[in-house]
Amino acid sequence: MYKTSKILSIRCAYTDRQLWYIVRKTSTTQDNKSLLPPNPQKISSDMVGPPDPVSNLRRIVFKKPANEGQLEKKYRELRTEVQEWNQEFWTQHNSRFFKERENYLKHNLPEGKSNLTADEMSVFYKAFLDKNWKTHIKYNIEWYKKNVTLLGLAIRIKLRRIFRIKD
C-alpha cells in the first residue's frame, strides 16, 4: 500500500486566493512527490498552502500569468524570494525555540511532574525573548525594507495598468 494525496482547492472569498489542502490516505509508506505544491503556470489564481509544521507559515504559490510583463515578473519573483527568506527565518527561529524549550524542561522539570505551569514557563519565555531581541529587531527592519520594496513595485504595476502602459 502506498500513500496518495490530491490537492483540493477552495476559493477564499475575502482574499480572492485559493487555498490548497493536501488530502492524504493513510498507509505504510510515504510518497514525497505527492506533497508538491501546484504548478504556478496551471493555476487560475495565487494559492495558499497548509501551515508549515515548524515555521507555522503558509506558503503561497503565486500564479504565473501567460502575458506577464517584466515588472510583474520581477514583482512575482521578489514576492517568492521574500516568502522564502521569511520561511527560513521562522524555521530557524522556531527550531531554536523548540530545542531550547526542551532543554529547559529537561533541566527544570521536577520529578513526578510531566509539565510546568504557564507561570513557571514564563521564566524561560522571557529569557528566550531577551536573548533573541537583537535578532528580532534586525528581522523587523529587514522585513519592513522588503515590504516597502514590494509595495513600490505593486504601485508601479497598478499605475501601469490604470494608464495602460506596456512593458
The whole-number pLDDT of residue 35 equals: 60
Other Cβ atoms within 10 Å of 17 Cβ, number: 19
Least confident of 27-36, 65-74, 91-100: 27-36
Q: pLDDT, tens digit, for every residue of 139-164?
A: 999 999 999 999 999 999 999 999 98
DSSP codes joined into one string, 49-114: EEEPTTT-PEEEEPP--TT--HHHHHHHHHHHHHHHHHHHHHHHHHHHHHHHHHHHHHHHPPTT-S
| Residues comprising the chain, all counted | 167
Other Cβ atoms within 10 Å of 156 Cβ, number: 15
Does 92 or 113 have the greater pLDDT score? Answer: 92
Q: Where are the domains of the chain?
A: 1-51+58-64, 65-167
Per the rule left: phi > 0, alpha: psi between -120 and 50, beta: everything else, 101 is alpha
